[in-house]
Amino acid sequence: MEEQIQGLATLVAEAYANPDRRRASLEIMCEWGRVVLDHLPLGHTDRPSFSEALGAVKAIARDRPDELLSLLREWPGAPMIGDMSRRQVVRELRGVCESFRAGPNNPTLMAAWLLSHWALDAVERPKVAVKGTKEAALALLRAVRHATLDTADAAITACADVAHARLSPAGA
């Protein structure tokens, strides 16, 4: 399964690097994120962090970076914005994202941490975001595998089907 996850992450990263296919890769990552949310119990402690990180990716997919910054300003622990420049806001929000960071034994929070930083990069440092897409996609797929437990094979296969359907020449 890890080989399939690696291949899917590469596929999405390559699509994200192509401006004409970027939106499709973002939509795929959003769908993969919904799989995680669908399998996390409502009261699960990782759910809010992951949901916020996925919301950031959705804002990027809709090509609304200002919506992303507004969303991130509402995160618990976000700084008072006041007269801060956009760059200062992003720097402060990166500090908030650090609260999502967890060890490799918690794939859901690891994905939340990577996705939130990646979304901020997509807004402020697009070239860095292109380079970090594979890592974010890997973390997301590992969170899918972790959240779906006994049905992980079927969930990863469904994720693959979504990716291949969206990135096929007809879907491009």
Give the list of residues 6+ apart from residue 61 with CB closer than 8 angstroms, or none.
23, 26, 27, 29, 30
What angle do the packed helices 22-39 and 47-61 form, to 10 degrees?
A: 160
- State residue 36's pLDDT score: 94
CB distance 171 to 20 below 8 Å: no
pLDDT tens, residue order, the chain (172 aa): 899 999 999 999 999 999 999 989 989 999 999 999 999 888 888 888 888 888 878 887 887 767 766 666 666 565 555 556 667 777 777 777 777 776 668 898 889 888 888 888 887 888 999 999 999 999 999 999 999 999 999 999 999 999 999 998 754 4
User: Whole-model pTM?
Assistant: 0.82
Which H, E and C letters describe the chain, residue by residue?
A: CHHHHHHHHHHHHHHHHCCCCHHHHHHHHHHHHHHHHHHCCCCCCCHHHHHHHHHHHHHHHCCCHHHHHHHHHCCCCCCCCCCCCHHHHHHHHHHHHHHHCCCCCCHHHHHHHHHHHHHHHHHHCHHHHHHHHHHHHHHHHHHHHHHHHHHHHHHHHHHHHHHHHHHCCCCC
Length in residues, the chain? 172
